[in-house]
């Protein structure tokens, strides 16, 4: 059977055909490096803490030291200490979950320092707040929970935005804040938290750290923040971000 050679011309392989470009591989993690390093530092520092003769308790915070003298720098050094592996890993997990939303506002080396400063200030607020509530207490306070709760406060105001914190009066901010604080109080009063054993949960430090974070993220964003790329926005909608 004869065939028309032009009929099948379009099916002839071309030596100049260009193979399709494979799609770019998406990174497994797109969190800012400073947030990842912060989360990893928490268990890393705890591992070093366990090598100290007194497990680092000399650097813990005791509220009575604010008024009677003693190791008052514990308001800062207590943030690098933890009461156990569970305590350290929980704080590291929360730092990894909520830290990126805040860190994306502050890109670059300078931004990383601002992010760490925000984290430390929230931790100081938590520790000092606990000390003011319990001025006569000689109990030791350790942990980065106040600082981590500050990251949660900042992340709540950034949820579903393009790097512009929601107003404090936003109903979503108010609703989530009330839920977080209520859960924190209940957990602290009844002691239902993994890994605490017989230790008391310093829910007051958590609350003060959270409040510092939710209040400071607005001024910090205005003074130092850079609007992040939409690809890294914490958009509340399903699906991929706009191109």
pLDDT computed for residue 69 by the predictor = 73
What is the rounded CA–CA span in Å between residue 40 and residue 74? 22
Mean pLDDT of 11-26: 50
pLDDT computed for residue 235 by the predictor = 46
- CA 27 to chain CA centroid, nearest Å: 20
Give the rounded percent of residues in the chain with a pLDDT score beyond 90: 56
Mean pLDDT of 56-74: 84
Q: What is the pLDDT of residues 87-120, one digit of tens each?
A: 999 999 999 999 999 999 998 999 999 999 999 9
pLDDT computed for residue 187 by the predictor = 82
Residue 22 pLDDT > 70? no
Which one has a higher pLDDT value, 121 or 7? 121
Residues 6 or more apart whose CB falls under 8 angstroms from that of 18 comprise none
Mean pLDDT of 8-26: 49
What's phi and psi for 144, nearest 5 deg?
-100, 20
Q: Is the pTM of this model over 0.85?
A: no
On average, the pLDDT of the chain sits at 82
DSSP H helical ranges for 10-49: 33-49
Mean pLDDT of 28-44: 89
- Is 30-232 a CATH 1.20.1540.10 domain? yes
What is the rounded CA–CA span in Å between residue 161 and residue 233? 7
Which one has a higher pLDDT value, 134 or 226? 134
Which one has a higher pLDDT value, 230 or 145? 145
Mean pLDDT of 46-71: 88
> Which region, left, alpha or beta, applies to residue 139 given φ > 0 means left and ψ of -120 to 50 means alpha?
beta
């Amino acid at each position: 059977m004869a065939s028309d050679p032009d009929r099948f011309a379009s099916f002839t392989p071309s030596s100049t055909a260009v193979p399709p470009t494979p799609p770019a591989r998406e990174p497994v993690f797109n969190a800012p490096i400073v947030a990842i390093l912060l989360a990893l530092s928490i268990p890393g520092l705890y591992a070093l803490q366990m090598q100290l003769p007194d497990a680092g308790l000399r650097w813990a915070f005791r509220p009575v030291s604010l008024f009677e003298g003693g190791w008052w720098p514990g308001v800062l050094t207590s943030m690098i200490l933890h009461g156990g592996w569970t305590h350290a890993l929980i704080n590291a997990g929360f730092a990894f979950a909520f830290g990126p939303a805040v860190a994306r506002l502050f890109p670059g080396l300078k931004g990383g320092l601002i992010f760490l400063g925000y984290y430390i200030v929230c931790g100081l607020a938590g520790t000092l707040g606990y000390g003011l509530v319990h001025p006569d207490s000689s109990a030791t306070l350790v942990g980065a929970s106040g600082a981590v709760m500050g990251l949660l406060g900042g992340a709540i105001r950034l949820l579903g935005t393009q790097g512009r914190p929601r107003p404090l009066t936003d109903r979503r901010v108010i609703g989530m804040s009330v839920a977080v604080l209520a859960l924190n109080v209940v957990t602290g009063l009844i002691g239902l938290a993994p890994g605490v054993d017989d230790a008391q949960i310093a829910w007051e430090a958590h609350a003060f750290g959270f409040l510092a974070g939710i209040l400071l993220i607005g001024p910090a964003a205005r003074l130092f923040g850079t609007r992040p790329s939409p690809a890294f926005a914490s958009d509340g909608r399903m699906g991929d971000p706009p191109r």
